[in-house]
Every structure is written in structure tokens, then in C-alpha cells.
A and B are shown apart, each in its own frame.
Chain A
Amino acid sequence: MTAEVHEIPLSTTAERQAVTGEMGAAPAQDWVIVTRGIVRNYDMGGEVVHALRGVDLAVLRNEYVAIMGPSGSGKSTLMNLIGCLDTPTAGEYWLNGALVSEMKDDALARVRNREIGFVFQTFNLLPRATALHNVELPLVYAGVNSAERHKRAVEALERVQLADRMDHRPNELSGGQRQRVAIARALVNRPAILLADEPTGNLDSGTSEEIMRVFEELADEGQTVIMVTHESDIAAHARRIVVLRDGRISSDDRRENFVKKLPTKP
């Protein structure tokens, strides 16, 4: 069912818009993310900066997508919008069937809590809390009782093979372990999307591979994964690669096609 509606490559804006559909119409259930003409302008001391100039993006459930682009391309802005940390100046953003671009603060907080699992470049764990407590945090804000919280946090840590380290604080863990704690935290509320921002940016290449393997396993298990990165070899782990340039999507392609275009390493 997905192959017909989601023919990649989506080379032109028209092709992409054909997939994202009409403005105002709720997308079909299979689409976990649909953005229509997303614009985001910043007012920098009277001067308007156009970070995003109209992004049409549609992601199916269970897809593993990398968003690439050089710095200044707008990929961080797009990631903040997808993560519901920010709202667009214009355009629509549907997440898991809900029009989140119209939502206010508290509703967005709820969406972040239920639908999105963040994995950051700098891990962003609470330094004074144990791994277990860090993983429990999203459940605290979801209002889950403490026994259930403990159970689910332990399960999430087991999934990233860190059950034996759950009483350690972040500074007692290696970089790779910290990132796995962050992944456990991102997954603990069973979010619609796992949103990773340069997840290997602070890791050596061996550990990066380890984290990428975790992502691949998650994708194999059916977790929707969106990863923002500027490293093409990291992006190459995803199954679909979206490239941003100057606030617009410049290419949206399958991994096989993308890898062909990569410059060979010296």
C-alpha cells in the first residue's frame, strides 16, 4: 500500500505536494508526518531571516529518514518544528493525525511527551540523576505512577542493554552508554517518532556505528526514526534521505540512489 502512494524519488515540489495532499485535509492514517508549505522566519534585530521557505515533507509510519544539509540550510529549524519545540510562521504540520502547527504551549508539551522521543547530540541527560531516573522523566510528566514508571524504564534500559548500569549517573557512563540511555528515555513513552539530532556528533566512529546499529534495530522493529545529520556516512544508514538547501528540500531519495551520488572517499 505504501509503495504506490510514496514513490521515491520525489524530485520536484509538485511531486512532493502530490504526496502531502491538500492544505487543511487530514492526511491518511499511514502518514505519521505531513508538512505543507512550512515557512519559518526569524526576526533578527529588524532583519527577517528566512530559515525555511516552504517545506513539503511526508513520512510514513515505520520509515527511517535522514534529513541532511549544510549548516544554514534550515535543518535545525525543521528538526525543532518536527519536534514541536517551535511553531511555523506559515504552513501546516500534521503529526500522527493531529494538526500541531495550530497548537499552543501546553498542548505542544503534551505532544512532545507522548509522540516524540528526542535523542540529542549532547545527550542532554540530567547530570545529577541516575540513568533510571533520566529514563523515568517523560513518564513523570505523563502522570504515570511510580511502580509502572519503574517497570517501563527498566524495560527501556534492557532494550538498549543497559539494565546493569541503571543506577549510574551520566558521568559514570561512556559516551555510547549515555546515548543509549538517551535512546531508552526517548522510547520509554512509546512515541510515534524517534527524533535524533546529530546523534553521533559527540561520539567516536566505533561508538557511532554501535548507536547506528541500535537505530537500525529500532527501525527493523517498526519504529519511525527521523535523524538530522550533516555527515553523509551517518545519513547513509537511513533508508531515505532528504537533503535541505537554503530552506527548501533539494532532494528526497532512497538510500541506494543517494549513496551512488556520494563522492568516493580518498
Chain B
Amino acid sequence: MSFYEAIRLALAQIRVQKLKSFFTLLGVTIGVMFLIAVVSIVQGMSNYVEDAFAGKFLGVNTAYLRKFPDINTGNVTEAQWREWQRRPPITIADAYAVRDALPAGTGWAIDDVRWINAQSKYANGGPQVMAHASTSQLFAIKDLNVTEGRVFSDEEDQLGAPVVVIGTEVRQFFFPNLDPVGRDLKIGGLPFRVIGVLEKQGTVFGVPLDRQIFAPFHSPMQRFTGARINLAGVTVQAPNPAAMADIQETISELMRRRHKLHPAQPDDFVLETSASALSAWDTIKSYLVMAGIFLPAIGLVVGAIVIMNIMLVAVAERTREIGIRKSLGARRRDILAQFLVEAATLSTFGAAIGIGLGIGLSKFIAAVSPLPSSVALWSVGVAIVLGAGVGILAGIYPASRASRLDPIVALRAE
């Protein structure tokens, strides 16, 4: 009897006994459902952290030269904090020295940031904005695009033109129901002409990215961000991931030389990358994935026991059928295959339903909670293999019992 025949037989059996099959499947279905849901949520969080956080916050293949880390995943001790404060500032001269040391093809931008007050004559008050005084290359490095107007040019930067590119929230607060392009936003009493509005970026870890404004580094904005005291950051972008290490090495050597550090002294600056910021997340993620696999595994074990039981009952109920099949020429392995395939089909069927429900559940969780969801393809593969595996494992004992039945005895069964 062919494999195809065995599957057809199994499907017919499931069709005939819908309710019983449903209960049989329940354990596997629930196990797989939670496996898919948990893995999808973890994957969603992971994608969120890696794309939104690393991409939007830091940029792809990007390193930030800072006085001390901006993103901290652990607790910072008092002593550590004091050491950070004592460090020398990152100066504008440092920024240009870094630019000159970089190999060709590497992106570079000064990005000084500070939360400050803004005003416009179209609104009363309004929240603080995250003001950037940056060189024009920053838009390309951070992949910032405008939906209206334009970004400023390198020339405008060099000339120190008082222009600004604003985020969508800034537009809503300060230019309600108005076209902001061509109108002024006042920072510290000085007007900055709005030349563009950025596309919506949302909030990453509580930081409202749409409340940012970007002005040329050489504009008066640098006075408000305090660029001459300490630069918040100099960002560099490697042309590809492989070049990243060399670039970090180059910057590190340069800064150590400029700060006149002995080889024994630790760095008094940081080079923040998405990898360094995400190392803590990777640890958390591995625990979550383990939990996401271990907990549903319990469901699958229960599912396996249920299937084994149901199959034993099925063998007992269908003893006569087995006898008939044997009398018509079914070999042991035909009977064995029939019940194994039936158990595996049943359980794979359950896994398939579980995959559907699991995807649904993860989408539901994503819809009603702040947790994101992204279905990992590998988890669907694992679920199918697990489903079939559980069925085969659970089916071995009942199937071998069925195959060893004496046809004479089996034919006499009621």
C-alpha cells in the first residue's frame, strides 16, 4: 500500500469521526498555537528592537562617537556616572579629525542634540522639541525622508542658513492646520524658516521621534544645543557591515591619541553601535525563545499522550477491520503504516490548525497590547515537523499492536 493511499485512508478516517478527531487534535493544536504565538511575539519584539531601535535610533551599519553611552540596558552606578562626567568633551575639532581619518566611502555627520523650547505665532506654548544641529549628511545616514518640502543642503549648512526640517508632531503643535513650509519656528527667540516636514516615524522606547527638528550645524542652532561645550555625537556609517570593525578601530585609535591615553588606560569615550546596544537584548531574547519553546512542549506531550490513547482505542475498535484487511493480504507493515500515517496525519492536521490559531492569537495580542508580532517562518516549519513527529511517536505503540494482531482472532472480534 502506497504512502498516498495511507494518507487518503487517514483523511477519510478523520472525516468520518470529526468530533473524536477534534478532541484528539486539541492537545497538539493548543501546543502549536502557543508555540507560534509566543515565538511570533518574541520575533516581533526582536524585529521591533532591531529595526526600529537600531535602524531609526542609531542607523544601519552606524557607530556613534559619544562622551558616554546614550543607551544603557543595565543599571549605571554612581561611580560610573561620576567617571562619565569627568571625561573630556567631544569637540568640534574631534569631529573633523574623525572625518579626515575615515576611509573613502564612509558616511560621516555631526549630530548635536538637545531638548529645548520652541515657539510659533500660530500656537500658544507647545512641548519641548528634540533639536538637532547637524551636518547635511545626517539625513542620508539615518535614512530620513521628507513628505513635504526638502532637507537642507551642504551649502546651506556651510553658510549657516537658519532653516529647519521638522517632524510631524512639531508640525501639529506649532502649525495646526497650516502648511508649515515657508513659515517660521522660533528657537530661543530666533526664527528658523521651515523648509521640510519629515515622514512619520513613531515612538521608539518612549522617545517621540516625530518631535524632532533638524537645523544646519553651522546655523545658530548650535548655540542652543551647546555644540561648543560638548558634541552629543559624531556618527559614522560604514559602506557595509564588514568595514565596520576597521572604522571603529580607526576612530578609537584617533581618539585615544587625541586624548593622550596610555595603552593601559581605558577609553574615555564610547563608540556606540547597534550591536553594542543590542547585546543585552540578545540575552533576553534567548531566554524568551527558550520559554516560548519549553512551555508549548508541555502541551505537545499532553497531545502525544491523548493521541496514543485515542489510537489504542481506535485499534481496539477496529480489530475486526484489521482482521479483514489482513485476510485480504495486508502485511504487518501495511497495518503499521496505516495507523502511523493516521496518527501523523491527525497530529499534523492539529498542528496546521494550531499554526492558524497561533498566528491569529499573536495578531490579536499585537492588536490589543503594545506588543508587536511577526510570524517567524522557522516556527511554522518547526510546528509542522513537531506535529508529524508527535503523531508518529504517539502512534508507534498502538500501530505495532495493531500490526501484530492475529488475523484469526481479529476476524472474530465484535
Q: Which A positions have Cβ atoms within 8 angstroms of B? A: 80, 83, 85-86, 105-106, 109-110, 112-114, 118, 120, 124-126, 128, 137-138, 140-143, 185, 189
In the complex, besides A125-B324, A141-B329, A185-B328, 11 extra interface pairs with C-beta distance below 8 angstroms are A85-B326, A85-B411, A105-B331, A106-B333, A109-B332, A110-B329, A120-B411, A124-B411, A138-B329, A141-B325, A141-B334
- State A141–B2 Cα separation when bound (angstroms): 9
Q: Report chain B residues within 8 Å CB of A141.
A: 1, 325, 328-331, 334
Q: Is the CB of B16 within 8 A of A128?
A: yes
Q: Report chain B residues within 8 Å CB of A126.
A: 321, 324
Q: Indicate which residue in A80, A106, A109 contacts B408 across the interface (CB closer than 8 Å).
A: A80
Interface 0/1 of B291-329, CB less than 8 Å to A: 000000000000000000000000000001101111111
Given A126-B324, A140-B5, A141-B1, A106:B332 Cβ within 8 A: yes
Q: Is the CB of A118 within 8 A of B327?
A: yes
Given A137-B325, A140-B1, A141-B1, A85:B330 Cβ within 8 A: no
Q: Indicate which residue in B1, B2, B321, B407 contacts A85 across the interface (CB closer than 8 Å).
A: B407
Q: Report chain B residues within 8 Å CB of A85.
A: 326-327, 407-408, 411
Q: Report chain B residues within 8 Å CB of A105.
A: 331-332
Given A85-B407, A124-B320, A126-B321, A137:B16 Cβ within 8 A: no
- State A113–B320 Cα separation when bound (angstroms): 17
- State A80–B326 Cα separation when bound (angstroms): 13
Q: Is the CB of A109 within 8 A of B324?
A: no
Q: Report chain A residues within 8 Å CB of B324.
A: 124-126, 137
Q: Is the CB of A83 within 8 A of B321?
A: no
Q: Nearest residue in A to B9 (C-beta to C-beta)?
A: A140
Q: Report chain B residues within 8 Å CB of A113.
A: 328-329
Given A106-B332, A126-B321, A83:B5 Cβ within 8 A: no
Q: Nearest residue in B to A138 (C-beta to C-beta)?
A: B328
Interface 0/1 of B5-21, CB less than 8 Å to A: 10000001000100000
A-B contact pairs, 18 of them (CB 8 A): A83-B327, A85-B327, A106-B331, A110-B331, A112-B328, A113-B329, A120-B411, A124-B320, A124-B411, A125-B324, A126-B321, A126-B324, A128-B16, A137-B325, A141-B325, A142-B329, A185-B328, A189-B329
B16–chain A nearest beta-carbon distance, Å: 6
Instruction: Return the 4 tightest CB-CB contacts between A and B, nearest first.
Output: A113-B329, A141-B329, A109-B331, A138-B328
B406–chain A nearest beta-carbon distance, Å: 8
- Near A by CB (< 8 A), chain B positions 358-414 give 407-408, 411
- State A138–B327 Cα separation when bound (angstroms): 9
- State A80–B321 Cα separation when bound (angstroms): 17
Interface centre among B1, B5, B328 (most CB of A within 10 A): B328
- State A122–B211 Cα separation when bound (angstroms): 84
Q: Report chain A residues within 8 Å CB of B321.
A: 126
Given A124-B324, A126-B324, A141-B1, A112:B329 Cβ within 8 A: yes
Q: Nearest residue in B to A137 (C-beta to C-beta)?
A: B328
Q: Is the CB of B328 within 8 A of A114?
A: no
Q: Report chain B residues within 8 Å CB of A185.
A: 328
Q: Nearest residue in A to B326 (C-beta to C-beta)?
A: A109
- State A106–B1 Cα separation when bound (angstroms): 13
- State A106–B332 Cα separation when bound (angstroms): 7
Given A85-B407, A85-B408, A126-B321, A109:B16 Cβ within 8 A: no
A226–chain B nearest beta-carbon distance, Å: 15
- State A71–B254 Cα separation when bound (angstroms): 106
Q: Nearest residue in A to B5 (C-beta to C-beta)?
A: A140
- State A171–B328 Cα separation when bound (angstroms): 21
Given A80-B408, A85-B407, A112:B5 Cβ within 8 A: no
Q: Report chain B residues within 8 Å CB of A128.
A: 12, 16
Q: Report chain A residues within 8 Å CB of B323.
A: 124
Q: Nearest residue in B to A195 (C-beta to C-beta)?
A: B327
A177–chain B nearest beta-carbon distance, Å: 18
- State A112–B333 Cα separation when bound (angstroms): 15
Q: Report chain B residues within 8 Å CB of A124.
A: 320, 323-324, 327, 411
Q: Nearest residue in A to B6 (C-beta to C-beta)?
A: A140
Q: Report chain A residues within 8 Å CB of B325.
A: 137, 141
Q: Nearest residue in B to A111 (C-beta to C-beta)?
A: B329
Q: Is the CB of B329 within 8 A of A109?
A: yes
B216–chain A nearest beta-carbon distance, Å: 77
Q: Is the CB of B334 within 8 A of A112?
A: no
Q: Report chain B residues within 8 Å CB of A189.
A: 329
A195–chain B nearest beta-carbon distance, Å: 10
Q: Report chain B residues within 8 Å CB of A80.
A: 408
A48–chain B nearest beta-carbon distance, Å: 18
Given A85-B407, A128-B16, A141-B1, A118:B328 Cβ within 8 A: yes
- State A143–B6 Cα separation when bound (angstroms): 12
- State A185–B329 Cα separation when bound (angstroms): 12
- State A114–B12 Cα separation when bound (angstroms): 26
- State A118–B328 Cα separation when bound (angstroms): 8
Q: Nearest residue in B to A127 (C-beta to C-beta)?
A: B321
- State A138–B324 Cα separation when bound (angstroms): 10
- State A86–B410 Cα separation when bound (angstroms): 13
B401–chain A nearest beta-carbon distance, Å: 15
- State A143–B332 Cα separation when bound (angstroms): 15
A41–chain B nearest beta-carbon distance, Å: 15
Q: Nearest residue in A to B13 (C-beta to C-beta)?
A: A128
B407–chain A nearest beta-carbon distance, Å: 5
Q: Report chain A residues within 8 Å CB of B407.
A: 85
B365–chain A nearest beta-carbon distance, Å: 41
- Near A by CB (< 8 A), chain B positions 126-166 give none
- State A46–B35 Cα separation when bound (angstroms): 55
- State A125–B323 Cα separation when bound (angstroms): 11
